[in-house]
Amino acid sequence: MQKNKLERYGSASNSRSHKLKGYGSVSGEREAGHVYTVSEITQKIKTLLEEKVGEVWVEGEISNFNSGPNGHFYFSLKDQSCIIKAAMFFYANRGLKFKLENGLKVLCFGKVNVYGPHGQYQIVVERVELKGIGAQQLAFEQLKKKLAQEGLFDQAHKRPLPLMPFSVGIVTSAKGAAVRDILQILKKGAPCVDALIRSVRVQGEYAAGEICSAIEELNSFGGVDLIIVSRGGGSSEDLWSFNEEAVARAVYGSRIPVISAVGHQINTTLSDLAADIFVETPSAAAKIIVDRKNALLSEIADWKHRLDFSMKNAINGLGADLIALKHALKSPSDRLLEKQQFLDELLAGLNYNIRHSLELAKERSSSLIQRLGVLSPLAVLSRGYSLSMIIPKEEILKESSQLKAGDRLKTVLHRGSFTSIVQEVFRDEGKTGI
């Protein structure tokens, strides 16, 4: 191989002026010979790479990821020192179970070629495998994050289960152990519940579609109070149908409350997270219904006890009322005598109140008369004082400034009165004249 390369391209020990066939001299002097166009030289490089490199596995980290409008993927693969362009066309990427994104460490299988319009080499990727984390687990985490951001797992959307579901739709395989466990527990603990089984495949390529159709049909049926989506335990691959986006959205969009009972405690599927309630096993889902039935019966028994107690109290109260009514139902003459006695008591009380009121009025009048007598002018006159008035106005005389010589006065004494004529008036306000 090495010898052939030397024969084809010339010996490395030859002079720089040695002519390489088809390329002219190394010294850069163009001599007679073929001159390549850009397209021709690009095609030669393309052919060389495809023949000498061909299909390869390349390990690297994805960067500059971009999804084209036609579904094609374009990205770069890099390591610590180099980078190579990559393209993964739609026909190859449509089967990917996980989402390509920047930072993923991957192993890519494809062909190395040259993209002519840009004159750059790239790898056309046919397959991608994750380095480290599994592809299925990555797809699960990516879809879980996406649905969580859309609110499919929010507690605010969770619907309460009916007080007592009398009709339950069961979405599972009719041949599996899950349906037998559910029916056995319901038959023993809640025989009043009708179970409507919608058999589906619970794993495999067509399982997700059948599960979605079953949930939609039970919603359309209209006679179901509760839906149980269930299957027994298994590997992550066995349970993968319940991690499909379509199943999670069907559970979330159900108008009827959904219990998800898929696998065992170590498994949590996307249908579990989207359901109104999820439990570890199918038996636990059936037990929820039995517990609700028992709780309802207990509540009914409590209300029955309260009703009995209330009825007994009401009957006892009615008995007491009847006894009182019996005493009240006397003969008309007896009732008239009672009323007459009552009127006599009222009359006696009225008379007493009148006499008492009169006595109080009399005492208050005497007190007022005494107080008025003390304040009466006549009482003042009885102590030696007199009252003088100017005639004919009979204006009571209070001060000397009201008088002048010659005025006639009428003077009232304690007993009797007399008239007089003023001879002289003393106007000294500081003296009383006494």
* pLDDT, tens only, 319-365: 787 777 766 666 677 777 778 888 888 888 888 888 888 888 888 88
Taken in order 396, 398, 401, 406, the sign of the CA dihedral is positive
Domain boundary pick from 268, 294, 320:
294
Is the pLDDT reported for residue 267 higher than 80? no
* pLDDT, tens only, 226-235: 999 998 877 7
Domain co-membership, 101 together with 178:
no
Q: Which residues contact 18 (CB under 8 A, 6 or more apart)?
A: 10, 11, 25, 26
* pLDDT, tens only, 268-292: 889 999 999 988 888 899 999 898 8
Q: Find the domain containing 425 and state its range.
A: 376-434
Domain co-membership, 158 together with 288:
yes
Domain co-membership, 155 together with 283:
yes
User: 393: pLDDT confidence band, cut at 50, 70 and 90?
Assistant: confident
User: What value does the mean pLDDT of the chain take?
Assistant: 81
What's the pLDDT score for residue 175? 87
Burial-class residue 199 by CB neighbours within 10 Å (0-12, 13-18, 19+). middle
> Is 203 contained in some domain?
yes
Between 369 and 242, the higher pLDDT residue: 242
Of the segments 90-99, 169-178, 315-324, 390-399, which one has the largest average pLDDT value?
A: 169-178
Q: Are strands 55-67 and 105-115 parallel, antiparallel or unpaired?
A: antiparallel
What's the pLDDT score for residue 134? 57
Stretch 89-115: mean pLDDT: 84
Name the nearest CA neighbour of 265 among 277, 274, 278, 247: 278
Is the pLDDT reported for residue 22 higher than 50? no
User: 429: pLDDT confidence band, cut at 50, 70 and 90?
Assistant: low
Domain co-membership, 281 together with 395:
no
What's the pLDDT score for residue 216? 93
Burial-class residue 330 by CB neighbours within 10 Å (0-12, 13-18, 19+). exposed
Stretch 239-266: mean pLDDT: 87
Sequence-ordered alpha helix ranges (H) in 223-329: 245-253, 270-274, 282-328
Percentage of the chain exceeding pLDDT 90:
15
What global pTM score does this model have? Answer: 0.47
Domain count, the chain: 3
Q: Which residues contact 46 (CB under 8 A, 6 or more apart)?
A: 113, 114, 116
Domain co-membership, 260 together with 151:
yes
Rounded distance between C-alpha atoms, residue 167 and residue 219, angstroms: 12
> Is 334 contained in some domain?
no
Domain boundary pick from 294, 312, 334:
294
Stretch 9-16: mean pLDDT: 38
Where residue 92 sits, what CATH number does that domain have?
2.40.50.140
Is the pLDDT reported for residue 306 higher than 60? yes
Per the structure block, which two tokens stand in for 347? 């009359």
Domain boundary pick from 252, 267, 294:
294
